[in-house]
Chain A
């Protein structure tokens, strides 16, 4: 699995990313910024009308000139790069639930990445919190996994179907207890 090596007998149950709607919301300002320059021509017409003696033809020729097109094209390239950056961060941030543990991967930005693991046998509590109109309608929310004994906890914001994920984690924990513990590095670890 690349940077995360699975233990012998360990299998990936599910890989989860933030809900697609959250990605869409993050892309929305960029879509608006791409559309904004189309208001430039009406704005120029308004300004040139308001200013006496101003040359409307000269002002409009600037907007439709090769230079105007070039600037707009480069503006779109820049916005696309920002959108692709958002998509990359969205895709590379994930939770991987295996038969033994939860692997949390945080891609804060380029060259800034954090990978943490939490053994399922150490999990004490799994909480879900669905909040807001879109979260309720589209079924995404917060999933918090609290480990036993320590103050360590994993939080996934905007997880799709948090209740389903909670049930999946609880099922995996039950299965693990049924088999007598997790296999870590080929050694069985039991919940003492």
Chain B
């Protein structure tokens, strides 16, 4: 008797490829992107409105966009 998952599928034969990944991923990425976009707009508003220094605010937002897009590209690059 081999070890099985809670649903009774043998662990050795359990495959993640059985999940409808192709349908889940685009929806999930869209949701993440929408949340990230709202967050970025709110953060940009606060930096440019309250930082009292345009150069500091612009640098901070540029850094945020650069780091976020680099990490997002890393995540998306796996989907080739």
Q: Using CB atoms and an 8 Å cutoff, list the residues of chain A in contact with chain B.
A: 1-3, 51-55, 58, 62, 65-74, 76-77, 80-81, 84-85, 87-88, 91-92, 105, 107, 110-111, 113
Contact = CB atoms under 8 A, between A and B. Distances in A.
Given A3-B50, A55-B12, A66 B78 contact: yes
A191 to B, nearest CB: 29
Given A54-B12, A87-B60, 12 more contacts: A1-B52, A3-B50, A70-B25, A70-B79, A73-B74, A73-B76, A92-B46, A92-B47, A92-B50, A107-B50, A110-B42, A110-B46
Interface of B: 2-3, 10-12, 14-16, 21, 25, 32, 36, 39, 42-43, 46-47, 49-52, 56, 60, 64, 67-68, 71-72, 74-80
A51 B3 contact: yes
A67 to B, nearest CB: 6
A153 B67 CA distance: 40
Contact of A80 (B14, B16, B25, B68): B68
Contacts of B77: 69
Contacts of A62: 16
Nearest to B69: A77
A2 B78 contact: no
Contacts, number: 94
A interface: dominant SS: helix
Nearest to B75: A73
B55 to A, nearest CB: 13
Contacts of B71: 73, 76-77, 80
A88 B60 CA distance: 9
Nearest to B3: A51
Contacts of B68: 77, 80-81
